[in-house]
Amino acid sequence: MAAIATMSRLPFSLLLIVTLISLPSCISSHQGSTTRPTGFKTQLINRNSVQSPFYNPKLTRSDRIKASVLGSFARHNYIESLISKKVSPSTSLGEFPPLPREGEYIMKYFIGTPSIETYGILDTGSGLIWLQCQPCVNCFHQSKVQIFNPARSSSYKQLLCKDRKCYQLGGIDQCSKDYKCEYHAGYADKSYSVGAVAEETITFRDVYGVNNTAIEPVVIGCGHNNSFTVKGEGIPGIIGLLRNRMSIIDQFNFPKFSYCLGMFDEPDRPGYITFGDEATISGYKTTLVPVPQHITPMYFVQLEDISVDGIKLSIPKGTFDISANYPRGFIIDTGATFTFLNKTAFDMLVSNLSEKLVKLKKVADPNKDFDLCYRMGTIITTQFVPKITFHFTGLDMDLPSWNTWLKVQGNIYCLAMYPTNSYSILGNFQQQNFDVGYDLVNNVVSMSYGYCSIDD
Task: Single out the residue of 172, 16, 167 nearest to residue 95, CA to CA.
Answer: 167
Q: Which of these is catalytic: 163, 189, 333, 435? A: 333
For residue 325, give every residue at least 6 positions away whose Cβ sits within 8 Å of its Cβ, in sequence order, or none. none
Between CA 193 and CA 85 the distance in angstroms is 16
What DSSP letter does each residue of 278-292 carry, written as one string?
T----SEEEEBPP--
Amino acid sitting at position 418: Y
What DSSP letter does each residue of 218-239 carry, written as one string?
EEEEEEEEE-----SPPP-EEE
**Is 123 an annotated catalytic residue?**
yes
Q: Which of these is catalytic: 123, 369, 371, 435? A: 123
Q: Are 221 and 197 in contact (CB under 8 A)?
A: yes
Positive or negative torsion for Cα 293, 218, 137, 236:
positive
Q: In angstroms, what CA-CA distances link 86 with 44, 139, 188, 242?
A: 30, 23, 6, 18
Q: In angstroms, what CA-CA distances link 42 with 164, 271, 453?
A: 30, 9, 12
Phi then psi for residue 208, to 5 deg, are -95, -5
Between CA 245 and CA 168 the distance in angstroms is 8
Between CA 407 and CA 360 the distance in angstroms is 15
Between CA 107 and CA 127 the distance in angstroms is 15
Between CA 116 and CA 109 the distance in angstroms is 8
**Is 333 an annotated catalytic residue?**
yes
Between CA 197 and CA 63 the distance in angstroms is 36
395-399 and 444-449: which strand pairing? Answer: unpaired
Active-site residues: which are they?
123, 333
